[in-house]
Structure 1
Amino acid sequence: MNAAATSTDGHRHAEAWQERNVFGPDHGIPVLADVDVVVVGGGAAGVAAATVCAEQGLDVVLLEQYGFAGGAAVAGMSGTICGMYLAGDHAAPQQVVHGFTERFRRALHDRGGLTAPQRYGRTWASAHDPLMWREAADDLLTSAGVRVIYHASVTGVILDGDQHRGVVVTSKAGRAAIHARRTIDASGDAAVVARAGGAYRYGEGGRIQNPTMFFRLGGVDTAAFWRDFGDDTISPPHVSEAILRARADGADLPREKIWVFATTRPGELMVNATRLEAEDGRMLNVVDPEDFTIAEIRGRRQVRSYAAFLRDHVDGCTDAYVVDTGVEAGIRQTRSIEAVEMLRDDDVVACRKRPDGIVRSPWPIELHDGAKPTLHWLIDDWYDVPYLSLVPRAGENVIVAGRCLGAEHRALASARVTAQCFEYGHAAAWATLRSLRDRVAYRDIAGESVAADLRASGSTI
């Protein structure tokens, strides 16, 4: 297959790669582990889910395709903890999300791996050191007693009727089965649910948000830079106008609104500037490896263009150089499960509160879909994400955690960020404990009871 074969709506070509790979209980594959819980994916949601499950006495295996935890925060170098603070005209950040999110924030802070909150439009976000993110996750997981297996990808699921009984993993060592009484799909892409034949959607009618390529810029006179750029991480008008002029002269600078954050390292900035699409303007769906490849090649080229622009046009950047890009393109959206209850666009806009909510989200609808990003602010307010948005409509003994929750397109543009993903994992862990202890299906657990567990463990619900 070649890139030209990809369909214009961006998702049918990805489906050409789909293979369910469903195995029955008598699969005949060597069994690597037989545990209470298998957590698939080591991003924010997976780390939270695995750590909390293990701390509550469950036998847990966590699987991660890379050699480190972090997911989009590290491999994609998204670089910030977003979603903790209210939006509004506050002189200082107002934190409204705690729980495991606060626990991880504190672990980063204590290592010197987190900046103070930085102004982002009408809210705040803190930038982290990706190496310290990995180390903090390693320490939490191993201290809790999680069996961590890096460099392993899920290539199949084990089903007994509609009951999930574990997963099949592939690594350089070969193929093995992990039997588990419960599965937490924290892959970000609903990989387990999709392989089992569960229902999911791609955004709105197959249209999803653009990926991006973050990069770090070293050799910066940061004092001069911030004097020119201002105290907001979103680019000021004079920088955006300079980008438009450079684009008119032929520079590959598709976004004029760029976001630049201070990092924990002297003389360094983290930049979110690129917008990745195919050469003909087609949306890229990074579930498809060919689209993922296009995103990464074009992303690295755009990084060089933006770095050159900053050197030529922004104070403090004359001697700047690219330190690194993400290990992979930054993924905002792929599959969202069809959940027992979907988080809807109007839930977000109306800042709807609910007794079965498992996390608050004050983050704006930050939609990267089209010619430029758009922001819809939730001023001095938040909405609650319902527990059942983590539970697939079909299939038993499986729950999701992370950006693949059941959410409509614009709702996901708010609900997908880091602080909330930590809390989705936190909630999935407590639901798993209840499911095993009480021998009850995830769908039959009252969201109010999960919210009570979260409050007792430090979450603000």
Structure 2
Amino acid sequence: MDINITDRRGVQARDCDVLVVGGGAAGLACAVTAARQGLNVILLERYGYCGGGAVAGLSGTVCGLYLASETAEQKPQQIVFGFTETFCQALEARGGLSEPLRYGKTWTRVHDPLKWRMTADDLLCDAGVNVIYHSVAIGVLLDGGEKVDGAMVWTKEGLLRINAGITVDASGDADVVAMAGRPDIIGDQGVVQNPTMIFHLQGVDVPRFLARHGADTIMDESVSALIYEKNQSGAYALPRNKIWLFPTTQPGELLCNCTRITGCDNRELNALYYRDFTEAEINGRRQAMEYARFFRDNLTGCEHAWLSDTAHQVGIRQSRQLRGRRELKNADVVNGRKCAAAIARSAWPIELHAGSKPKVEWLLDDYYDIPYDCFVPASGRGLLVAGRCLSAEHEAVASARVTAQCFAYGHAIGHAAAIAVNNGLDPDEIDPLEIRQFLRRDGASLE
């Protein structure tokens, strides 16, 4: 029997200068930046709000703002500005961003996910971005198989054909790159870092908790040893010993980054695959409940605490990435390599989350640069990427993927898209020094 796949609602069409797919930190910065240059910008987001991994995945922190140092007493030294600073200031004005908190050898800031969403809405509206929430790109428009001319989009109203001068893949998973058949890479020979389920714990006596465990959000070895002991005894199922607990902007609340989600067969899960993604969500919620039970039973200040909510989805550290005109190398990160064509910088450590204890490799009192060509496909026209799907080696992306840098990538790629549209250029024809001039004007301080 023949079965026809049909949607009788018809197809609507819209035109724009720049189409941004994905409303995480990178997509938001890209859309706002391009719209501020007077362009007609459409932003697609599958949820009903912007925030990506920071909000839907509840990563909860703006990591990557500061240098790392061996000197614990040293004050935070900020190195990322531009749109990142603009967003942080707007969020802080709402009471939605903490002061810098100690994170091992560096610092981070915890944000309020609801206030993040509202801040993003205001920035998008003020810039005149055409936002389409609850939408998913399901295919790309290709001109002769070479140039990306936009995307076919699913909405509750029906299909939408969006024709665009430049398309930016800020999906986090390089979805547009894959749909367009552009070269990509998945992890280390297909193996990616496992996802995590982050959650909020409420009812915490935070002053007592801090008095016992200290101000460093990475819990000390005594906590790790206790987790190991309780897990080995069978009293709890706690696969990860080294954990991070952050006081938030809300009273009596901790943000908990502690789960290590693998499959029931103990293999690493890849959220690109729908079976793995589903299994990660189920196992993640189970682990969150177990860690919350352990905290309540064993940690000072958590005696009357409860798990108030988990992230809307597991946090994805790594999936599919662009294979670009240039690749950020592991050596670039650990050696603090600088580049005249850079459009962003980072001092965040390499964090490899596998086994019971994540591996953290610090870059101390220094930073590295991320070049523009890491966001330009090795072949084809009309397409750029922004965010954690940049072209980078496995260990390098474990540093380059964090929030402050994703804001910076989006800021730069928004300018690149505007330069391309306004000058009739393809992304690979843009001089990165011109992007840097715009970034300097916006206070990005890359010099």
Which range, TM-score by smaller chain? over 0.9
- 2:241–2:356: 8 Å Cα contact kept in structure 1? no
- Whether 1:180 and 2:164 are equivalent positions in the alignment is yes
Alignment partners' CA distance in 1, 2:359 and 2:33: 35
User: d(CA) in 2 for partners of 1:350 and 1:290?
Assistant: 38
For 1:388 and 1:369, how far apart are their aligned partners in 2? 30
* TM-score of the two chains, using structure 2 as the length reference: 0.96
Q: Does 1:57 align with 2:41?
A: no
Name the residue aligned to 1:47.
28
Contact kept? 1:208, 1:369, Cα under 8 Å: no
Give the AA of the match of 1:299: G
* Equivalent-residue separation in structure 1 for 2:428 and 2:248 (angstroms): 42
Quick one: distance in 2 between partners of 1:195 and 1:371? 36
The aligned runs of 1:7-406 (5 Å cut-off) are 30-88=11-69, 89=71, 90-161=73-144, 162-250=146-234, 251-406=236-391
**Is the CA contact 1:85–1:94 (under 8 Å) kept in the aligned structure 2?**
yes
Residues 174, 31 of structure 1: alpha-carbon distance in 2 compared, 3 angstrom cutoff? closer
Cα displacement string for residues 224-279 of structure 1 (whole angstroms, at most 9, x for unaligned residues): 11111111000111111110111012221111100000100000000000001112
- 1:386-407 CA-to-partner distances (Å, cap 9, x unmatched) read 0000001112111000000000
Contact persistence 1:359–1:460 (CA under 8 A): no
Question: SS of the residue aligned with 2:445?
Answer: coil
Q: Which amino acid is the alignment partner of residue 184 of structure 1?
A: V
Residues 96-131 of structure 1 show CA distances to partners (whole Å, capped at 9, x for unaligned) of 100000011101100000000100000000000000
Quick one: distance in 1 between partners of 2:310 and 2:295? 16
Q: SS at the partner of 2:196?
A: coil
* SS of residue matched to 2:304: coil
In 2, are the aligned partners of 1:66 and 1:152 still within 8 Å (CA)?
Answer: yes
* 2:19 alignment partner, SS class: strand
Q: Is the 8 A contact 2:96 2:112 kept in 1?
A: yes
| Partners of 2:165 and 2:337 in 1: CA distance | 34
- 1:214 and 1:87 mapped to 2: Cα distance? 24
1:411 to 396, 407, 426: 396
Secondary structure of the residue that 2:227 maps to in structure 1?
helix
Note the C-alpha offset of 1:438.
1.7
SS where residue 436 of structure 1 aligns? Answer: helix
SS across alignment from 2:152? strand
Residue aligned with 1:156, SS: strand
Matched residue, 2:6: none
Query: Counterpart amino acid of 1:451?
Result: R
For residues 156 and 460 of structure 1, the distance between their equivalents in structure 2, rounded to whole angstroms, comes to 37
User: 2:209 is aligned with what amino acid?
Assistant: F
Partner amino acid for 1:93? Answer: P
TM-score, normalised with respect to structure 1 = 0.93
SS of equivalent to 1:124: strand
Amino acid at match of 1:175: L
Q: Measure the CA separation in 1 of the matches of 2:210 and 2:13.
A: 53
Q: Which secondary structure does the structure 1 equivalent of 2:118 belong to? A: helix
Equivalent position SS for 1:42: coil
Local SS of the residue matching 1:223: helix
Task: For 1:210, give the aligned amino acid.
Answer: N
Q: Are residues 216 and 98 of structure 1, via their aligned partners in 2, closer, same or farther at CA, if it must alter by over 3 Å?
A: same
What residue number does 1:16 align with?
A: none
Shift of 1:452: 2.1
**Structure 1 position 370, deviation (Å):** 4.0
Please state how far the C-alpha of 1:63 moved relative to its aligned partner: 0.3
8 Å CA contact retained: 1:193, 1:199: yes
Does the 8 Å CA contact 1:166/1:180 hold for their aligned counterparts?
yes
State the identity as a percent. Answer: 51
Task: Give CA-to-partner distance per residue, 1:343-377, whole Å, 9 cap, x none.
Answer: 01111111000111111100000111344311110
Question: Deviation per CA, 1:285-318, whole angstroms, max 9, x where unpaired?
Answer: 0011211111111000000110011111110001
Q: For each residue in 1:73-101, what CA deviation from the matched residue of structure 2 results, as whole angstroms up to 9, or x when unmatched?
A: 00000000000000002521100100000
8 Å CA contact 2:375–2:391 kept in 1: the answer is yes
- Off by >3 Å, runs of 4+ in structure 1: none
Unaligned runs of 5+ in 1: 1-27
Matched positions, count: 434
Match of 1:457 in 2: 442
Q: Is the 8 A contact 1:29 1:177 kept in 2?
A: no
Question: What letter is aligned with 1:364?
Answer: P
SS at 1:336 equivalent: strand
Aligned partners of 2:35, 2:240: CA distance in 1, in Å? 43
1:446 to partner: Cα distance: 1.8
Shift of 1:32: 3.0
**Aligned-pair CA distance for 1:38:** 0.6
Once the two structures are superposed, residues 41-92 of structure 1 have per-residue CA deviations (whole angstroms, 9 ceiling, x without a partner) of 0000000000011111000000000011000000000000000000002521
Tell me, in whole angstroms, the C-alpha distance in 1 between the residues paired with 2:10 and 2:437. Answer: 40
Distance 1:36 1:195 in 2: 20
CA distance in 1, matches of 2:172, 2:10: 26
* Counterpart code for 2:359: T
Residue-by-residue CA offset, 1:15-55 (whole Å, 9 max, x unaligned): xxxxxxxxxxxxx9734310101100000000000001111
1:118-156 deviation line (CA, Å, top 9, x unaligned): 000000000000000000000000110001000000001
Cα shift at 1:455? 1.2
Is the CA contact (8 Å cut-off) linking 1:31 and 1:179 kept in structure 2? no
- What amino acid is aligned across from residue 156 of structure 1 in structure 2? G
Q: Find the aligned partners of 1:206 and 1:342 in 2 and give their Cα distance.
A: 17
